[in-house]
Amino acid sequence: MPAAREEKLVHVTKRVLTERDIRDAAAEKVTCIHVPAKCILTALAKDCAKEHGIRLVQE
């Protein structure tokens, strides 16, 4: 059975979250990113997050 990945959560205050931001987070082994409700998530950012298994939570 594979080891459970430890959750690493970050809070972002940017107005726009891009694919580059997601790739940087993935390199840091981030598993969940919380962003403000009004944050714009680019389509590429969403795709990249899915590809890397990163949950995006808008607050």
User: Model confidence over 13-50: pLDDT tens digits?
Assistant: 999 999 999 999 999 999 999 999 999 999 999 999 99
- Other Cβ atoms within 10 Å of 30 Cβ, number: 19
Q: What was the pLDDT predicted at 50?
A: 98
Give me the helices (H) in the chain, please. Answer: 19-27, 43-52
Note the pLDDT of residue 40: 96
- pLDDT of 57 reads 96
Q: What is the pLDDT of residue 5?
A: 63
